[in-house]
Structure 1
Amino acid sequence: MIPLDQVRTLLAVVDEGTFDAAAAALHVTPSAVSQRIKALEQTTGRVLLQRTKPVRLTSSGEIVVRFARQLARLETDARAELGMAGTGEPAAVPIAVNADSLATWFLSALTRVPAGLRVCFELHREDQDHTTKLLREGVVMAAVTSSPDPVQGCSVSSLGRMRYLPVASPEFVARWLDRPLRQAVGEIPVVVFDRRDELQDSFARRLTRGRGAGPLRHHVPASEDYARAVTAGLGWGMLPTAQAEPRLRAGNLVRIDERAVDVPLYWQQWKLDSPVLAATAEAVAAAAAEALHPARARIG
């Protein structure tokens, strides 16, 4: 049996970052916080925290924190259903979502959640290949991710495919593309989101059968700014159709290759019988069905 007061103390330490800050939030002494964490580690037989500033969870600590957040969500839902006092506060739902979804279709999805549920969304912007990390750590309840493999304790369903088009400004094409793209792609400037962005390189490798994009790279880590950088002629890049098509129609961009890249997106969430979480998942699925290309298969 894991003592709940110790679990809540661990959660406070993680959220506040230090033992002293957690003590202030819980209205106890730092010594009491330290004793509770030590007792919890003895109970579980695992080291749960690295005593850094801010503290960092171990893999075992991530499991306990995820349990703590799920427990808090269930407690809030139960109190609301019972009509108990102290349930007037809105429900907080932290979600991890990739930047391109956030800039194109995801915010409209959240407006579909019934207002009567009184939900506050806390969005964590992260690359779709890395959002599951926040699920494992218990930081978020749900995530838009490129992984079909469910995190332990989570369910997963397919949302569809986000299609990316290789584009550049007409001025860029006139200046840099005096030969076939497959010959030039390893030398011409490219715009990438950040140092973890593999999309342009994967497209270039597909085009050249092994060679990635060139070394002339501009890093622009914001979705709308990224689109503006490509449109301004800083380099070529892969844009979601929702961002690319209006610029293509206006003549501000041109496609530099007829091929496209489809990135599958999935919705992962905690396996909780939570009305708030269920309503959020339904709203996201409905918006994705309208905004994304159909999924090739459904994941159960």
Structure 2
Amino acid sequence: MALDPVQLATFQAVIEHGSFDAAARALHVTPSAVSQRIKALEQVVGQVLVRRARPCVPTAAGSPLVRLGGQVALLEQEALESARGALSGRAHTRLAVVVNADSLAGWFLPALATLPEVVFELHTDDEAHTAELLRAGTVMAAVTTERVAVQGCRVQRLGAMRYLPVAAPATYETWFAGRDPAAAFATAPMVRFNRKDTLQHRFARTLTRREIDPPTHFVPASASFTEAIRLGLGWGLVPEETARADVAAGRLVELVDGHHLDVPLYWQYWRVESTALSALTAAVRAAAATALR
């Protein structure tokens, strides 16, 4: 049995807006109409598609339909704009993208600035977890460390983001100067972005060959993360461009000369023939080519 496009669009609206009532307001219908459409779609599929929570989230069976609904909406929007012709430079096509915070704070935004005809809905997450939003159908493209394509997506390698281990000069003198790295990293205060951030532990393990559990600060914003390290809260891994500028200015000290951590990044995006998504892919690849290793 074919899927009803109205039911599919309603289902996507529930997930996008987080509730039946919010979807009803967006679609200019009653909550009862939204509920009836969702129940009808679930009957066709033979599965529960929406977990009635706050916010509403798709079940495992519903996730592919979220992606399908988004793809249909994107292609319909582009076809409509093409039929109407350009309208005074106004942006109409919307693309939802997830990117890790360090890329967003560094090389990624200039790519978006080259596409004035597109409006963006940006999400952030740890690079090892961004593909989850792609699987759920929440976003259309992702900067991720996953090199195996998510079902229904294409994948292209972007390059590697290099991180350097740094600390404020006073922190370096207190915890690292003249000490064995294995002992220093095991006890020196550390700064992490959030609990998903494992970069510091991965780097320390390459030197100590063991797991460490030092006192840890969590600072979940790229600029504030680096500032916390400058102020002496602890050591951490900072993107190379920022780290080298701070080291040259004397604000930070590189902890172990010649040692760094490279994080390979990939661009995954829906496998649909979308003009806007193709243009974004070209812009992201061009920006990554100049910024990543």
TM-score (norm 1): 0.92
For 2:123, the equivalent position in structure 1 comes to 124
1:54 is paired with a residue whose SS is coil
**Residues 91, 118 of structure 2: 8 Å contact kept:** no
2:261 maps to amino acid: V
Superposed displacement of residue 84, structure 1: 6.7
Identity of aligned residues (%): 49
1:204 maps onto 2:221 in alignment: no
Alignment of 1:1-300 (within 5 A): 1-83=2-84, 90-113=92-115, 115=116, 118-177=117-176, 178-212=178-212, 214-257=213-256, 258-293=258-293
Q: Is the 8 A contact 2:95 2:118 kept in 1?
A: yes
Tell me, in whole angstroms, the C-alpha distance in 2 between the residues paired with 1:85 and 1:48.
Answer: 37
Aligned equivalents of 1:86, 1:255: Cα separation in 2? 52
Q: What is the DSSP-based 3-state SS (H/G/I as helix, E as strand, rest coil) of the residue aligned with 1:60?
A: coil
Please state whether the residue corresponding to 1:185 is helix, strand or coil.
helix
| 1:98 and 1:127 in contact (8 A); partners too | yes
Q: Is 1:142–1:270's contact at 8 Å kept on the other side of the alignment?
A: yes
| Structure 2 gap ranges (5+) | none
- Give how far 1:86 is off: 9.2
C-alpha separation between the residues in 2 aligned to 1:181 and 1:210? Answer: 12
Deviation at 1:169, TM superposition (A): 1.1
Amino acid at match of 2:136: E
**Alignment partner of 2:211: what SS?**
coil
Question: Cα RMSD (Å) of the superposition?
Answer: 1.6
In structure 1, C-alpha distance between the alignment counterparts of 2:190 and 2:19, rounded to whole Å? 42
Alpha-carbon deviation of 1:24? 2.3
What do the CA deviations read for 1:156-181 (whole angstroms, capped 9, x no partner)? 00000000111111111111224122
Moved over 4 A (4+): 84-89
TM-score (norm 2): 0.95
1:269 deviation in Å? 0.5
Assess if the C-alpha contact under 8 Å between 1:48 and 1:61 holds in 2. yes
Gaps of 5+ in 1: 294-300
Count of aligned pairs:
289
TM-superposed CA distance for 1:29, in Å, is: 2.1
